[in-house]
Amino acid sequence: MAHIIFDNVTLQYPIYNSRSMSLRNHLVRIGTGGMISQDSKDIVTIKALDQVSFSLRDGDAIGLVGHNGAGKTTMLRTMAGIYKPISGRVDIQGSVSTIIDLGAGLDPELSGYENINRMGMLLGSTLADMEARLDDIEQFTELGEFLSVPVRTYSSGMMMRLMFAVATSVRPEILLIDEMFSTGDADFQKKARLRMTDLIDSSKIFVFASHEPELIRAFCKRVFRLEHGRLTEIGINDF
């Protein structure tokens, strides 16, 4: 059984080479999600998550909302084990896949095939895993012989097809997505939506950060709001 448990999790990071708190700093603190503070050594820190607690189990589909800078991506990266909190407990049970930095690890000098293996392994898959998924990725991208040539020769649409196909080729127990894919022509967007729906349905726990209420309501059962590093659960129609 998959689960995600956050128990009083706090995460903060320093901002070096920063001047002392000014009016501008104060306005940023008010207008963005993380709480900005300053210690006795004049080191400015951002508290992105402040004593956050929740528990997710099989069947949970969570919409994560909040304005830009509220800490949504930080939350997803903490769930994925990329960021470590300074206090509190994070307990993750189950395989995790993220669609946060689409195309992370893409090398334009390598061929499409080489990038499939490269990006897949950076997502935590093995070479054998990626070889087993190759037929599916080839069919989805419809790039044909272009997969054998350097990615720098691709159009932006072709590159997006490749990146999206690799990112959605895994079937994890826990799926974390930062914003929905919305680039490309109409036909590809429809195809991508169907693939994403299938991926979501196959996961046991789904967490989706987005600014679009329609997508949150379409894919999620519960909604968490992040504001100034604090998390609260709200109604599905209350945002």
What's the rounded Cα separation, in Å, for the pair 80 and 37?
Answer: 26
pLDDT of residue 18: 52
pTM: 0.80
Owner of token pair 């992040």 = 226
> For the chain, what is the domain count?
2
Mean pLDDT, the chain, integer: 86
- Owning domain of residue 163: 104-171
CA 136-138-144 angle, to 5 degrees, is 160
The distance from CA 117 to its chain's CA centroid, rounded to whole angstroms, is 20
Q: Please report whether residue 190 resides in a domain.
A: no
pLDDT of residue 55: 97
What's the rounded Cα separation, in Å, for the pair 4 and 40?
Answer: 36
Q: Please report whether residue 110 resides in a domain.
A: yes
pLDDT range class, residue 182, cuts 50, 70, 90:
low
pLDDT range class, residue 47, cuts 50, 70, 90:
confident
Confirm if 145 and 113 have CB atoms less than 8 A apart: no
Of 171, 191, 219, the one marking the end of a domain is: 171
Q: Please report whether residue 31 resides in a domain.
A: yes
The amino acid occupying position 123 is L
91 and 32 assigned to the same domain: yes
Q: Please report whether residue 188 resides in a domain.
A: no
What is the arithmetic mean of pLDDT over 54-71? 92
Q: Please report whether residue 214 resides in a domain.
A: yes
166 and 216 assigned to the same domain: no
- Three-state SS string across the chain, please? CCEEEEEEEEEEEEECCCCCCCHHHHHHHHHCCCEEEECCCCCEEEEEEEEEEEEEECCCEEEEECCCCCCHHHHHHHHCCCCCCCEEEEEEECCEEEECCCCCCCCCCCEHHHHHHHHHHHCCCCHHHHHHHHHHHHHHHCCHHHHHCEHHHCCHHHHHHHHHHHHCCCCCCEEEEECCCCCCCHHHHHHHHHHHHHHHHHCCEEEEECCCHHHHHHHCCEEEEEECCEEEEECCCCC
CATH number at residue 216: 3.40.50.300
Confirm if 64 and 236 have CB atoms less than 8 A apart: no
Of 171, 193, 219, the one marking the end of a domain is: 171
pLDDT at 27 over 50: no
Contacts of 211 (CB under 8 A, 6+ apart): 65, 179
Q: Please report whether residue 122 resides in a domain.
A: yes
89 and 108 assigned to the same domain: no
pLDDT range class, residue 76, cuts 50, 70, 90:
very high
Q: Please report whether residue 239 resides in a domain.
A: no
31 and 115 assigned to the same domain: no
The distance from CA 137 to its chain's CA centroid, rounded to whole angstroms, is 21
17 and 78 assigned to the same domain: yes
pLDDT of residue 32: 47
155 and 229 assigned to the same domain: no
Q: Biggest alpha carbon distance in the chain?
A: 60
Q: Please report whether residue 193 resides in a domain.
A: no
pLDDT at 204 over 70: yes
What is the arithmetic mean of pLDDT over 7-30? 64
Give the chain's radius of gyration (CA, Å): 19
Minimum mean pLDDT among 44-48, 57-61, 118-122, 235-239: which range?
44-48
